[in-house]
């Protein structure tokens, strides 16, 4: 019996994206598991309730969310997997990723590890946050430092 039934790949649309997707697709094939690609739009308005008018911020949120949805949809369309989906949300990445994993009953979250300096040398802040918040297994896929 496969250990993992549903994998969630967290994507920040960075340079390592292709490698992370290849890795996730291979694992989904090996485990015969579902795969969901997820991106959290962490747009932060410059000010809250002050000089920045709220409607503009909301529009920017919606714009970025739409863009993320489009990117994920086209990535998923290019994958040769029977059971693959995508999700995009607004929020803080580590919280959004772990919340989605819970909602979708994911049993393995895949993140890239690309902390580049100091204490983040081994794990980036998001990867580290996901590791501590997740209620399921987390795999940090090694990505090259300084790419």
Provide the binding-site residues for ligand AMP, judged by CB under 6 A: 10-12, 38-40, 42, 93, 97, 111-112, 114-115, 124-127
CB of 77 to ligand AMP, least distance (A): 19
CA 130 to chain centre: 10
Closer to ligand AMP by Cβ: residue 51 or 91: 91
Long-range contacts of 16-24 (CB under 8 A, 24+ apart): 16/112, 16/114, 16/143, 16/144, 16/147, 19/141, 19/143, 20/110, 20/112, 20/141, 20/143, 21/75, 21/79, 23/110, 23/141, 24/110
The whole-angstrom separation of Cα 108 and Cα 47 is 36
Residue nearest to ligand AMP (CB): 124
Parallel/antiparallel/unpaired status of strands 108-113 and 137-142: parallel
CB of 141 to ligand AMP, least distance (A): 8
Closer to ligand AMP by Cβ: residue 45 or 115: 115
Closer to ligand AMP by Cβ: residue 82 or 122: 122
Closer to ligand AMP by Cβ: residue 36 or 126: 126
CB of 126 to ligand AMP, least distance (A): 3
CB of 51 to ligand AMP, least distance (A): 26
């Amino acid at each position: 019996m496969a250990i993992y039934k549903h994998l969630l790949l967290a994507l920040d649309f960075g340079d390592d994206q292709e490698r992370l997707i290849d890795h996730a697709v291979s694992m989904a094939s090996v485990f015969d598991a579902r795969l969901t690609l997820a991106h959290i739009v962490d747009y932060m308005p410059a000010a809250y309730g002050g000089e920045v008018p709220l409607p503009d911020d909301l529009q920017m949120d919606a714009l970025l969310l739409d863009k993320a949805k489009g990117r994920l949809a086209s990535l998923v369309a290019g994958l040769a997997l029977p059971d693959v989906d995508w999700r995009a949300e607004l929020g803080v990445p580590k919280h959004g990723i772990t919340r989605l994993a819970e909602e979708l009953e994911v049993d393995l979250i895949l993140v890239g590890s690309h902390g580049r300096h100091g204490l983040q040398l081994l794990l980036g802040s998001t990867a580290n946050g996901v590791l501590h918040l997740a209620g399921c297994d987390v795999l940090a896929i090694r990505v090259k430092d300084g790419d």
